[in-house]
């Protein structure tokens, strides 16, 4: 156990001496502040480094999700466009032949727009 007594401090209160048996540790106020500053600098550097790694992983996951959404949207858009073209093709045919064209898989509209 270390002994800390007021007599261990100098008159200005800027120096502290801890002793235990034959071992003595003497520290000034500036030494303690320097040590605290170094510890804070190391911790801040570590936190920023870890944040950079986590941020990079999060950004990559976000970009991958956006790419998946883009692919899904392109498929949906192409499907809607083909459906609209198919309906426009069927509607462009006269009323009396429209039903035959709609039911016939070999009709012009079914071949063009893959319905």
Listed as ranges, residues in the chain with pLDDT below 70 are 1-13, 114-115
Which of 57, 36, 90 shows the shortest CA–CA distance to 27? 36
Residue 23's pLDDT is 83
* Collapsed DSSP state (helix, strand, coil) of residue 102: helix
> With b meaning 16 or more CB within 10 Å and e meaning fewer, what string describes 42-60?
eeeeeeeeeeeeeeeeeee
- The residues spanned by each domain of the chain are 6-113
* Collapsed DSSP state (helix, strand, coil) of residue 105: coil
Residue 1's pLDDT is 47
At 15-31, the pLDDT tens digits run: 777 777 888 877 777 77
The rounded radius of gyration (Å) of the Cα atoms in the chain is 39
């Amino acid at each position: 156990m270390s002994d800390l007594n007021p007599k261990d401090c100098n008159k200005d209160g800027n120096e502290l001496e801890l002793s235990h048996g034959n071992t003595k540790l003497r520290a000034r106020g500036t030494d303690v502040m320097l040590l605290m500053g170094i510890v804070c600098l190391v911790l801040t550097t570590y936190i920023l480094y870890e944040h950079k790694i986590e941020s990079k992983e999060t950004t990559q996951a976000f970009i991958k999700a956006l790419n998946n959404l883009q692919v899904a949207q392109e498929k949906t858009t192409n499907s809607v466009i083909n459906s609209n073209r198919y309906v426009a093709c069927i509607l462009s045919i006269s009323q009396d032949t429209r039903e035959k064209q709609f039911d016939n898989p070999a009709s012009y509209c079914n071949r063009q727009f893959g319905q």
